Structure 1
Amino acid sequence: MRACCLFLVLAFCVRLCPAAPNVVLIISDDQGYPDLGCIGSKPLITPNLDKLAAEGVRGTSFYVTWPACTPSRGSVLTGRYPQRNGLYDMVRNDMVNFGHLYSPDEYAVSPEMTLGLDVREVTIGDLLKKAGYATGCVGKWDMGQAKRYLPLQRGFDFFYGHGNNGIDYYTHERYGVPSLFRGNQRTEEDKGTYVTDVFRRESLRFVKDHAGKKPFFLYLAFNAPHGASSFGEGTREGEKKVAEGVQVPEKYAAMYRGKVKDEKLAKYCGAVTCMDEAIGEIMETVEKAGQKENTIYLFMSDNGGSGNGGNAPLKGSKSMMWEGGLRVPFIACWPGKLPAGKVTDDFLTSLELVPTLLSATGAKAPEGVKLDGFDMLPVLRGEAKSSREEMFWQRRGDKAARFQNWKWLESEKGKGLYDLTNDVGEKKDLSREKPEIARMMAERFAAWRKEMDASEPRGPFRDY
């Protein structure tokens, strides 16, 4: 009798306490603000991302923390400004721009091998693993390649991908160095296979192993549609490399010939479509496991588009402080928990991802760690306006700030003050007309910089 009562109580609790949601966090590489089929400004074929947008929420004012990959991805993983988590510049070797093939011994002591995200930083992998999740990382890690920096030491149970900025899509090398890892070990087992297909296969394997059995967190970080990290024909040692551009199987590039202006753009678009197909297979696998309603999908690009035919209506591109370098496509889909087909122009950033996932999963926030974002679920549901009023960026001497509708920047590519409500393309500099606002923005930037400098120091770049 007692056993029967206990069974009934447990069954009742199971009905009242639904399983913790699975999380699939997808990051693309250099995919521009307008580069989704559902936006309609380019002939892109992205039916699966379009489906996520139709069944979820698409953000039109979503920002990353840096206009290029490494610091931006570090913020996704930590929920902290690059200037706070210490990874506020690229982890890369300068000689890769000049036709130089690295020997294993030379590469072993290079910045790409010896620098990475400070080991004291807590990642979303750490937090969800502690909460009972199976955690997997597939694709571009970019947080360092020394063992202490790799995903298995940063909260992930599973890793198949590359630790550096980029690779050749077929050889999986970075300027002569084999760069794929399975776990903590380099591997050449898939050499010759298009790497998006490799990441698709490994993601599907991880999802099939865990869907419906244990809550899982898949961090799927594509290198597509970034240009290949290989030397184009004609590159000579010591001379500026001839860029090869994006690599893609012929059938995907063929979809766009005659629709876009040149072969380079056809390959870029084809790489996006190939990535979209991989995402679609993951969505299908989750649904077949009966986990569609219990899975959160988050999609974004790591920075603005580069070599993608432009980011109109935004100005600029990757590496720049204009909106085209910082504002990116964003989709959140959680059936039954978030509205379907909603488009929000609320001011949101990648700093919101970690607090949002902590709220959605019930995982605990890291003790004694300052997070720079907030739970955006009420905003995505349409129940509240974004509490974010300001955001700051710095890339060496380039600086920018947004406060409410105002955007201010001082950079090598340009400077000025812009009203984003009426001028999202940053065409009219208002700094002379409104000097008091320009001064206020500069002062806000200085106060933020002071806060960052006063925070507990982190490497690899900070002097302490």
Structure 2
Amino acid sequence: MRYFLLFLFVCSSLLAAQPNIILIVSDDQGYPDLSCIGTKPVKTPNLDKLAATGVRGTDFYVTWCACTPSRGSILTGRYPPRNGLYDMVRNDLVNYGYVYSLSEYSVSPEMTLGLDPKEVTIGDMLKKAGYATGCVGKWDMGQAKRYLPLQRGFDFFYGHGNNGIDYYTHERYGVPSLFRGNERTQEDRGKYITDVFRREALYFMNEHLGRKPLFLYLAFNAPHSASSFPEDTVAGKKKSGVGVQAPEEYVAMYRDTVKDEKLARYYAAVTCMDDAIGELMKTVEKAGQSENTLFLFLSDNGGSGNGGNAPLRGSKSTMWEGGLRVPFIACWPGKLPAGKVTNEFITSLELVPTLLGVAETTPPQDITLDGFDMLPILQGKAKSSRQDMFWQRQDDKAARVGHWKWLDSAKGKGLYDLSTDIGETKDLSQEKPEVLKMMQDRFTAWRREMDATEPRGPFRDY
């Protein structure tokens, strides 16, 4: 009996030491697109509340300027060239109105490419540490069975494996795309997808809150534009965009203040997502788990079709700050200060080490992580140890070292001092040739390190 009671005590102590973790990622939400920032009419009262009771970051970066590689780094804590998923997993012919048959789709890149099975995800690591692990929403790491969440450390999955879907049919340009576990499903066809993801996230939470530490990776597709063809699409011609889809009740909130219909729908999709996040917050509070739950929120890349990312230059798919710097919020009552804004240089590479530290576990010894535990920084107890960050998308390159930013891409190039020029307006390449060379040399050294790592698929030749 004494040993049994000791066993129960140890288990209960471990449970108390491991907080719930809810990691929320939005899709294409721009740097200024929170109402607490105050530059746009977008309404995000629940995210504002998380920021008011937690920490908001102003200098938070992701590892890529579009979704797939960025999300791969969120899940692995590794640069895209290190984990092997350093470009998009998508079928480019959809850009020209091409509708794939199911048989064609089954052998297309969207079905045959994904995150290398050798990679260890945060789901793998937290599950091993005793967490119930759930993934709801946009997976984007591959759709073949070996790539799906249930094979990557998650106990529960409801979502889509590809880049994007129609918000109501849940198809990607005609192909049904939702999975429950490992099986495709059309059970929720016709329902607005943010509402479906909210329902499934709440189901997973209610199954485990207060019983077992949970890790929920809730990856919305909102406010990404819908993967749908408009009625005027002509096969073989570059398609026009449908834009974002949103329920009329939410769009109506913006019609008096936003004259652009597509922008009104973008804001509406953000607000609908914010309401879903608010329900998660209420569920945690009702379960008495507020002080035992860490909420994290970020976007996967910069905004697109959102009316601009000012004061940042550029948008999604560019190496300007507007494509790489994103909104970030962390809230953990009692563990993180309330209402704090940090200007420290931090990135999505810090997420995995931070979550492992929170869960009081460690990564496998043979795994090289590219970030560090940022909890002391969010607490205001330490300065960020990050001095640099590097990006590459095919021939587009960029680096940040200290307050210097360098980029060399088809959409622009130059050297900028972010401490005085956050909008990247004044190219200092001619004035600071020694800094320019230092940045280029640092990028070359980083690229050399990435190339020397153990090969990972699906793009690398090995």
TM-score interval for Structure 1 and Structure 2 normalised by the shorter chain? over 0.9
- Kept in 2, the 8 Å contact 1:36–1:46? The answer is yes
Aligned equivalent of 2:143: 145
Q: Which residue of 1 aligns with 2:69?
A: 71
Please state whether the residue corresponding to 2:93 is helix, strand or coil. helix
1:154-173 correspondence runs (5 A): 154-173=152-171
Counterpart for residue 381 of structure 1: 379
1:114 to 98, 112, 115: 112
Aligned identity (percent) is 76
Alignment counterpart, residue 187 of structure 1, candidates 185, 188, 192: 185
Shift of 1:254: 0.7
Measure the CA separation in 1 of the matches of 2:337 and 2:259. 37
8 A contact 1:416–1:431 mirrored in 2: yes
Amino acid of the residue matched to residue 239 of structure 1?
Answer: K
* Equivalent residue in structure 1 for 2:450, among 444, 448, 452: 452
Hey, what does 2:365 align to over in structure 1? 367
What do the CA deviations read for 1:238-267 (whole angstroms, capped 9, x no partner)?
A: 111121000000010110112124111000
Asked if the contact 2:31/2:326 (under 8 Å) is kept, the reply is yes
Is 1:48 paired with 2:46?
Answer: yes
Q: 1:13 to 1:229 in 2, by over 3 A?
A: closer
Q: What does residue 214 of structure 1 align with? A: 212
One-letter code aligned to 2:178: L
What one-letter code is carried by the residue in structure 1 that aligns with 2:239?
K
Equivalents in 2 of 1:100, 1:47: separation in Å?
Answer: 40
Partner of 1:175: 173
2:414 match: 416
User: Hey, what does 1:81 align to over in structure 2?
Assistant: 79
Question: SS state of the match for residue 188, structure 1?
Answer: coil
Structure 2 CA distance for aligned equivalents of residues 438 and 8 of structure 1: 62
The Cα offsets for residues 334-378 of structure 1, whole Å up to 9 and x where unpaired, read as 110011100000000000000000001112212201100000001
SS at match of 1:418: strand
Residue by residue over 1:388-435, the C-alpha shift from the partner in whole angstroms, topping out at 9 and shown as x without a partner, is 000000000000000000000000110000000000000000010000
Q: Distance in 2 between matches of 1:303 and 1:15?
A: 38
Residue 16 of structure 2: SS of its match in structure 1?
A: coil
Aligned mates of 1:98, 1:390 — CA distance in 2: 38
Change in Cα spacing, 1:130 to 1:16, as seen in structure 2 (3 Å) is closer
Alpha-carbon separation, structure 1, partners of 2:160 and 2:4: 49
CA contact (8 A) 1:245 1:264 kept: yes
| RMSD of aligned residue pairs (Cα, Å) | 1.5
Out of 15-24 and 178-187, give the one that drifted further. 15-24
User: How far 1:9 moved relative to its partner?
Assistant: 10
C-alpha distance in structure 2 between counterparts of 1:164 and 1:360, whole Å: 30
Q: CA deviation at 1:12?
A: 9.7
Residue 77 of structure 1 aligns to a residue whose secondary structure is: helix
Q: Find the partner of 2:35 among 37, 42, 45.
A: 37
1:275 aligned residue: 273
* C-alpha separation in 2, matches of 1:309 and 1:14: 50
Looking at structure 2, the residues matched to 311 and 420 of structure 1 have their Cα atoms a distance apart, in angstroms, of 16
Q: Which runs of 4+ in 1 moved over 2 A?
A: 5-19
Name the CA distance, whole Å, in 2 between partners of 1:10 and 1:140: 38
User: 1:291-330 alignment to 2 at 5 Å?
Assistant: 291-330=289-328
Cα distance in 1, alignment partners of residues 408 and 389 from structure 2: 15
Alignment map for 1:121-140 (pairs within 5 Å): 121-140=119-138
The separation in 1 between residues aligned to 2:289 and 2:53, in whole angstroms, is 15
1:27-71 per-residue CA deviation (whole Å, 9 max, x = no partner) reads: 000000000011010011111100100010000000000000000
Letter in 2 for 1:140: K
TM-score, normalised to structure 1, is 0.98
Residue in 2 that maps onto 1:441:
439
Alpha-carbon offset, residue 11 of structure 1: 5.7
SS state at 1:407 partner: strand
- Gaps of at least 5 residues in structure 2 are none
SS at match of 2:416: strand
2:343 and 2:389 mapped to 1: Cα distance? 15
Q: Deviation of residue 98 (structure 1)?
A: 1.0
Structure 1 residues 240 and 10: CA distance shift in structure 2, 3 A:
closer
Structure 2 equivalent of residue 284 of structure 1: 282
CA distance 1:368–1:34, shift in 2 (3 Å) = same
State the partner residue of 2:250.
Answer: 252
| Aligned partners of 1:233 and 1:244 also within 8 Å | no
Asked if the contact 2:69–2:86 (Cα under 8 Å) also holds between the matched residues in 1, the reply is yes
How far off is 1:8 after superposition?
8.8
- Partners of 1:246 and 1:6 in 2: how far apart? 56
- Aligned-partner Cα distance in 2 for 1:8–1:106: 58
* Contact kept? 1:233, 1:242, Cα under 8 Å: no
Aligned-partner SS, 1:256? coil
Secondary structure of 1:18's counterpart equals helix
Give the Cα separation in 2 of the matches to 1:408 and 1:293.
Answer: 41
- Paired residue type of 1:258: D
* 8 Å contact kept, 2:15–2:212: no
Question: Aligned in 2, Cα 1:194/1:78: closer, same or farther, shift over 3 Å?
Answer: same
Following the alignment from structure 1 to structure 2, what is the Cα–Cα distance between the partners of residues 272 and 28? 9
Letter in 2 for 1:396: Q
2:59 paired residue number: 61
What letter is aligned with 2:388?
A: E
